[in-house]
Amino acid sequence: MSEIVGFVGMSHSPFATLSPFQEMGERFLADAARVKAAVAALRPDAVVVIGPDHFHANFYDQMPPFVLGVERATGFGDFGSAQGELPVAGELAWTIRDGLDDAGFDVSLSYALTVDHGVVQSYEMTTGLSVPHVPLVLNTAAPPLPSPARCVALGRALGDTIRRSASEQRVLIVASGGLSHWLPSNDPRDPSVTGEKRESLIHGRKDTRAFAAAREPRVRAMAGNPEARVNAEWDRWFLRQLYSLDVSPVVELGHDKLEHEAGSGGHEIRTWLAGHAAAGRPLVWDSYEPVPEWITGMGIGTTFPV
């Protein structure tokens, strides 16, 4: 049987690894380095990384709520994140697929998954990409999204599956998702989403590089604004909830109240809910720094001392 040796929830941001913006999240980057050292001491054999995609792999021609990579995972290389093939723990991935299927989750399958900074940045910050991973992508980009309750249920099934697996591995769970942040709408049903942008959100798969090349300058232009909206009070409240196994106060917010408090980008906390449920342990340590210049609250939480 495998053992889940710990859980790390970590914010990501397109700007956390780009100069000159790195100077702005000094506490987050220092604490992320401490977490990486603590993870090394845990000696994980594999890591399950739960994160979102930002329209580099999934589009609204087909938008699954959950996608599992089982054979190859390739970093897209957006915003300075690692580009190229990444190590995949294939046997564990198939165990997870089968276990989630038994639990009633029809998770989409990929033999060749592209992952962007939403998965790669936290994977790299916690392990240096040195530990084979299983990428599990949650749709947090735009509605319809899996509900917070569904993400918790998925996480519990994920944890049960890992613990029941025949292999004897030490598995780390990493959730990669920003805390509160407000982003332009990516919902094709939104009347403000029109023209070329709407076309790209639906049909961007035809030429992902061209779509990214057109989109990335618009995102980069949002960086560095000290007035960008971040709800630090809500972020700290959310982290406190994870010091308990009962996350019902978060789940009961539902989609609309969550968006009101944490913004359209705050839906990424679904990855934290899934990872926390998979680990089945409360946090024992956290770090938080609001970094409006990176467009989000930068938090880290762990189930082990740092």
Does residue 133 have an active-site annotation? Answer: no
Q: Check 117, 133, 267, 276 and give the catalytic one.
A: 117
Q: Check 54, 56, 133, 181 and give the catalytic one.
A: 181
Does residue 181 have an active-site annotation? Answer: yes
Per DSSP, the residues of the chain read: --EEEEEEEE---TTTTSTTGGGGGHHHHHHHHHHHHHHHHH--SEEEEEE---SSS-BTTB--SEEEEEEEEEEE-GGG--EEEE-B-HHHHHHHHHHHHHTT---EEEEEEEE-HHHHHHHHHHHTT-S-EEEEEE--SSSS---HHHHHHHHHHHHHHHHH-SS--EEEEEEE---S-------TTSTT--HHHHHHHHHGGGGHHHHHHHHHHHHHTTTT-TTS---HHHHHHHHHHTTSS--HHHHTTHHHHHHHHH-GGGGGHHHHHHHHHHHT---SEEEEEEEGGGTEEEEEEESS--
- Cite the active site residues: 117, 181
